[in-house]
Amino acid sequence: MRAEALKGHLDPLILAVLEPAPLHGYAIIEQLKQRSGGSLSLPEGTVYPALHRLEAGGFLSSAWSDGNRRRRVYRLTRAGRRELGARRGEWQSFAAAIEAVLA
Amino acid sequence: MSFCEWLARELGRVGIAGSTRRRIVAEIEDHLACDPEAQLGEPAALARQFADELGTVRARRAGFAAFAALAIAGLLYGAAFLVGVQGFARHRSSLPALALIGGVLAIVGAQVAFVAGALAGLRAFRRRRSLVVPRAEAVILGRRATVGLVSGLAAMAGLGLLAYRNGMPTSENTFVVVAASAGAVALLIAVPIMVSALRLRPVGDGEPGDVFDDLGALVPPALRGRPWRFALAVAVVLAVVIAVAGIVQQDPYDGAARGIADALACLGGFALLGRYLGLRRS
């Protein structure tokens, strides 16, 4: 899928990937690839500004991990979970409408 | 020069410095340690994207923070003015020049703060879902927040000066000073948010927008795209409302005089600050 087509959908994708457990930047990108079966191959650099923006917006929180390597680990906040729920609802309505026309 | 060194330099160029820059570079270093072949794009483009996205969040937050702080300060200002005006009318100041300065600051500052703060909040609300706004628009948001907060602080200082006079009952005096101080504290809390928005701005090109972008469909079609005609209409409505209030208070001449004065002040403010605050484009 082209990166251009993903614009506007990156935020809910990141929120969804972080829903089960906190992850660091590289793992988030890997999860996006894995969960999409390799279809979502976006420029990796674009994820980091989005992570910072989502954190500034209160949807994510982050902290340095204490493991062998110093890593910034992101987790969903309560506001992030609410936002994810809202974006899922929006997407389902949108997808259903497009599907109804294309089918 | 390594990718991360290059990125650090580019981040500095777009205004990202200090702990934010160190954190971004550390995260990218970690990413490259996991995958040395990672496609992270050009450092300059990545730095611009950080500036665009973080600058937009900060500009919007400054608009909301200024609006919220001014709303709290406005309530305190109203209460202080209602309580204090009785004492101000009864007791002449022993320092008339100080009282005059205080009066001008309190009245003009409050009106400018109200307009700038409302516009800051309105534009921030209009762009609440935008991932990125142009630099020019972020500049306008920053100016509105700054003018709103500075004018609000001036209004609070003016109230303090008005209260500083001999012969005024202690309870009224104290209330005005306490309310003005509390209002000033509310405004000062928003200052760091505003400063952070001024330090980091988006870098993208684009139009700053004008009052019609703020008000959208609220503006009658006949006035859209005509800022001076719109300002004149607002001034006339303002004059009529104040004149009618004068009639209701059984002082129609005073009401009419104040209405005309406020309408002229409105037009003067539009001429002086309209372009700076992004109400008109030229």
Lowest mean pLDDT among A25-34, A48-57, B162-171, B251-260: B162-171
| Residue B69 shares a structural domain with residue B84 | yes
| Residue B135 shares a structural domain with residue B265 | no
Write out the E strands in B37-78: none
Instruction: Name the residue among B96, B98, B76 with its Cα closest to residue B156.
Output: B76
Looking at chain B, the whole-number percentage of residues with pLDDT higher than 70 is 95
3-state SS class at A20:
coil
The number of domains in chain A is 1
Query: What pLDDT is attached to residue B194?
Result: 95
Phi first, then psi: give them for residue B23, nearest 5 degrees: -65, -45
Residue in chain A closest to B7 (alpha carbons) equals A45
Dump pLDDT digits (tens) for B6-25: 999 999 999 999 999 999 99
pTM over 0.80: yes
Phi first, then psi: give them for residue B16, nearest 5 degrees: -100, 115
Query: What pLDDT is attached to residue B89?
Result: 66
Is the CB of A49 inside 8 Å of chain B's CB atoms? yes
| Residue B89 shares a structural domain with residue B166 | yes
Q: Helix, strand, coil % (nearest 5) of chain A?
A: 60, 10, 30
- Answer whether A42's CB lies under 8 Å from A28's CB: no
User: Which residues of B fall within a CB distance of 8 Å from A69?
Assistant: 30, 33
Is the CB of B131 inside 8 Å of chain A's CB atoms? yes
Phi first, then psi: give them for residue B207, nearest 5 degrees: -80, 145
Count of A–B CB contacts within 8 Å?
Answer: 65
Is the CB of B127 inside 8 Å of chain A's CB atoms? no
Looking at chain B, the whole-number percentage of residues with pLDDT higher than 90 is 68
Comparing CB atoms, the residue among A48, A50, A57 nearest residue B24 is A48
Query: What pLDDT is attached to residue B161?
Result: 86
pLDDT > 80? residue A99: yes
| Residue B189 shares a structural domain with residue B125 | yes
Final residue of a domain: which of B208, B232, B264?
A: B208
User: Which residues of A fall within a CB distance of 8 Å from B40?
Assistant: 43-45
Other Cβ atoms within 10 Å of B221 Cβ, number: 7
Range of the domain at B261: 209-282
The number of domains in chain B is 3
pLDDT > 70? residue A62: yes
| Residue B187 shares a structural domain with residue B255 | no
| ipTM of the complex model | 0.88
In a domain, B79, yes or no: yes
Check A44 against B49: CB less than 8 A apart.
no
In a domain, B22, yes or no: yes
pLDDT > 70? residue B108: yes
Token readout for B216 is 């959208």
Check A44 against B53: CB less than 8 A apart.
no
Q: What is the mean pLDDT of chain B?
A: 91
Check B28 against A48: CB less than 8 A apart.
yes
Whole-angstrom CA distances from B223 to B207, B238, B269, B281 are 20, 16, 19, 15
Residue in chain A closest to B49 (alpha carbons) equals A49
Dump pLDDT digits (tens) for B53-107: 999 999 999 999 999 999 999 999 999 988 887 776 666 666 778 888 888 999 9
Residue in chain B closest to A42 (alpha carbons) equals B39
- Distance of alpha carbon A76 from alpha carbon B19, whole angstroms: 22
User: Which residues of A fall within a CB distance of 8 Å from B28?
Assistant: 48
Check B53 against A69: CB less than 8 A apart.
no
Lowest mean pLDDT among B44-53, B170-179, B201-210: B170-179
Q: What is the CATH number of the domain that holds A82?
A: 1.10.10.10
Angle subtended by helix axes A25-35 and B18-34, to nearest 10? 50
Dump pLDDT digits (tens) for B236-254: 999 999 999 999 988 889 9
pLDDT band at A2 (very low <50, low <70, confident <90, very high): low
Range of the domain at A59: 3-102
Query: What pLDDT is attached to residue A5?
Result: 62
